[in-house]
Amino acid sequence: MKLIVTLLVVLATIFSGLIDGYDCKIVQFIFGDSLSDNGNNNRLSKSFAQAALPWYGIDYGNGMPNGRFTNGRTVADIIGDKMGLPRPPAFLDPSLSEDVILANGVNFASGGGGILNETGGLFIQRFSFYKQIELFNGVQTMIRNQIGDEPATNFFQEAKYVVALGSNDFINNYLNPLYSDSWKYNDDTFIDYLSETLGAQLTVLHGMGVRELMVFGLGPMGCIPLQRVLSTSAECQDKTNTLALNFNKAIAKLMDDLSAKLPNASYKFGDAYDVVNNVITNPSKYGFDNADSPCCSFGRIRPALTCIPASRLCKNRSKYLFWDEYHPSDRANELIANELIRKLGFKPINQADGPSPSPTSAPAPGDD
């Protein structure tokens, strides 16, 4: 009888350890747009914002398209790797399950998505931030049903969170006359609208257990290749850059206010505007040859709104700041990630499992 009792105690301890293991596994949850999307939009059959064709993903894994809107890794990939966090799968990944979520987290980011529901409407299908929060709520229900309320609460409170949104709210909303927000607001009132909406959304996330969160700021949007080619001078559009700077200022203050107001909240603002602007001003100093046009394009036929198999690739992708008309290259994303890590003082997280392996580089057609 004593042996049976001892065995039961041992089994109970092992079982308890498994549940506690969920508490100790730190993962990340990512909310964002095409700068962080890793496959969601590729599974939205009606979406016009997809990275489903070559040469997207050429420098990631097997070199095939994987849903990332760049040639390699995203900023969130790189920061997670350097912190020792596993790379979370896309929410729409068919392999997603409770066990996968507990081991890796989830990426809800969606190309064309924005802080506002109306942003990116011309893309037909995309997940707005509100929709991503709704999906996160569903994930929480799944995990609570799997491991119970208390372990699930600990799991979500210990996780890391990234919010990388805002560029589409300008490029694919306010600055586009096809959207009503472009004539309903002026520059200041639109940024106020974004800040108030984002504040409400982050407060909802806090109520769902989000404690450690980083919001990415905007880069010099007026200098992306698309904005240059649409200008009469082929130079950066100052108005768009000013909007990005003012948005960053407002969101940095919002993060400070929320951290002070919400219990146990550590909400940080990641600003890499200056380092990207420095590269644009003096690319050779940072090892780039080109900071004003896309690596993947149709040559002189511009703008090339997406990268497709018929596109021409630059000879050395690591020398280009931009991959396509909108998105940074893998090398640029690494520069941005390193700047955010430096500014925010991120340290690697000690976990039993190391980070996901870095992607291998695949040769481009005609590369030297």
Which residues are marked as active site? 34, 324, 327
Q: What tokens appear for 213 in the block?
A: 């969160």
How far apart (Å, rounded) are the C-alpha atoms in residues 77 and 338?
12
Residue showing tokens 């030297």: 368
Beta-carbon contacts of 227 under 8 Å, excluding residues fewer than 6 positions away, are 171, 221, 236, 237, 240
Q: Which amino acid is at 241?
A: N
Nearest to 139 by CA among 215, 211, 210, 87: 210
Crossing angle, helix 187-207 and helix 129-147, to 10 degrees?
10
Distance CA 160, CA 214 (A): 8
CA separation for the pair 80, 88 (Å, rounded): 9
Distance of CA 360 to the CA centre of its chain: 21
Q: Is 257 helix (H, G, I), strand (E, B) or coil?
A: helix
| Nearest one of 276, 184, 174, 268 to 223, comparing CA atoms | 276
Cα 30 to Cα 57: distance, rounded to the nearest angstrom: 19
Closest CA to 100 of 143, 38, 39: 143
Task: Please check whether residue 36 is in contact with residue 340, taking contact to mean a CB–CB distance below 8 angstroms.
Answer: no
